[in-house]
Every structure is written in C-alpha cells, then in structure tokens.
Amino acid sequence: MSITPQKVDRASYETVADFIDAANTVLVNASNADIVAVFREDKGQQFGASFFGAGCRNGLAVQTLVNDGWQEGRTRVDGFLSKLETIELAPRDMRRRLTLADMGDHLNIGDVYAGRFATAWTRATRQTGFGPQRVDLVANMITAGSQSPDVLFWRGAAAVALCDKLEAAGYMVRLIVGFGGKGMGADKVSCRITVKNHDMPLDLSTASSVMLPGFFRAIGHQWIAAHAPRRSDCVGISVKNCDTEAGEIFLSHEVSNEAGARARVEQVIHQLDAATTAAA
C-alpha cells in the first residue's frame, strides 16, 4: 500500500511506525535519492557513530535499534526516573462524590414533599480536581550537528520523565517529538510525531527509541530528503523548532544534559502545582 506524502512544512504522524514507514517509502523528488541513501546507508561513513550515537554507524543500524528497542536508553531513563522520586505532583482527586441534582440515581422523598425538586435527587459524580485534565508535551528533537548526540537523549528523557510523573498524578498526557528547520530542498521543515496519545499508556520501549540520537539524525534527515520538493545540494538543515499548538509544554534548547533535564522537569511540575492551587 502506497503512503501519501505529507507536506514537509506541516507534517504530523499519529505513530512512530507511521513516520518511519513514510521515511522509507516516500520519494517526492527522485533527484534526492542519493541523499536519502546517505542517511539510510552511509556507505562512505560520512557521519558514523559519533553522529548517530549508540554505536550506530548508519541509518540502517538506527532503524534496527528503533525497531528492536534501545535497551541502553531505557535503562538510562529508568535510572533518571529513580533520581526524581522526591519530585512529585499533587495528585488529582478522582474520588466519586454525591451531588444534588434535579435528576439522578437516588430520590429524597422528603425534598419532593417539601417542593425542593431541583435538589431532590443525588448523583455520584467523579471529581477531577482543579487545573487541566490533559497535558500536551512536545520535545524538540533536533540539535546542531556539532553538538553531542547525548543532548537529544536528555531532551527526550525529560519529556518521558514528565509524562511518567503527570500520569501518576492523574493527568492524561500526550507526548509528541518533533523537528523543524530549513534546507535540503525545503524552505521550511516542520514534522510532529505522536509517541503517546492522551488515552494510551506510556510505552517506555517506544519512548526510549525516539531518544536515540539517530532517530532524528538518521531517520529525520532521511525523511526530509524524501519529502523535500526540490533537489538539495547539501545534507543538512538549519536548526529551528517544529510547529507547536496553543497550550503545549515545549522542551527544547534549555535541556542539553542531565542537570538541564532535571531542572525542566521540576519547573513544569511546579508550574502545574501552582496552577492547580490558584484554581482551587
């Protein structure tokens, strides 16, 4: 089954698998086939393990690791989460309570006789506390080629840690990774990939795979070359952000190492706690 190419300047994929399929099967401009091959195969070892990370010397190795699960990445995320045990959100109160209503589950005949029809019934309703029920996280998984590949890991780790903390406190979280820029035959690049939707559990295997530096540096670049409308004379793009939507919590260049990841997690949690307290 053929995949319909998305516009390189406003692409959005519902799953990581959809994004990888699009990178592997779409070629908008056939003259970019050689650049696609560079990021997929890299037979000349133009980049190598110091660029893709996790010992991957080409894009094929990156895709294998993404498909099989990056166990080292998952182990590192688990270790990071264990260091954040003292950072907790105030839990959302999800208990059911009785509320008065004009229709409901139980009728108070005394209120009926007294003419208090608007409050004669009681109904059990679930209390969801204050503040937003849903939270949207977006991790900007792109860096300059001169930066350490570990930067991308810590940016993703911060997003996964926030997702874990927020869900434990009763929030419904959507986690998106994205990248943006300009170049490789495109005037603007913006691509968003949903790792976890609001009604899905957090899959650490999938989440850790997108923290693999080569996820963008190999598959992301391959996707851009495959979807760009014009021939490209270079194999890189300028570093910018993917498109974001109102209300999304954005993680980007403020996170470049473990200390930055922890600081961003603490900042977001404190902001949400403050918003909950203010709403109460």
Q: Collect the ranges in the chain with pLDDT lower than 50.
A: 93-100, 126-129, 131
Q: How far, in whole angstroms, is CA 263 from its chain's centroid?
A: 18
All residues at 6 or more sequence positions from 251 whose CB lies less than 8 Å from its CB, including other chains: 137, 138, 139, 140, 155, 158, 159, 162, 264
pLDDT at residue number 96: 43
Q: Cα-Cα-Cα-Cα dihedral of 70, 215, 63, 16, to 10°?
A: 90
pLDDT of residue 172: 93
CA atoms of 182 and 172, how far apart (whole Å): 33
Could you tell me which of 265, 280, 279 has the C-alpha nearest to residue 89? 265
DSSP string of 75-118? HHHHHHHHTTTT--PPPP---EEEEEESSSSEE-HHHHHTT-GG
Give tens-digit pLDDT for 191-223.
999 999 999 988 888 888 888 989 999 999 999
Q: In this predicted structure, what is the pLDDT of residue 26?
A: 95
**How many other β-carbons are positioned within 10 Å of the β-carbon of residue 125?**
12
Q: Which pLDDT value is given to residue 146?
A: 86
Q: Which residue has the tokens 């706690």?
A: 273
DSSP one-letter string for 3-24: -PPPPTTSEEESSHHHHHHHHH
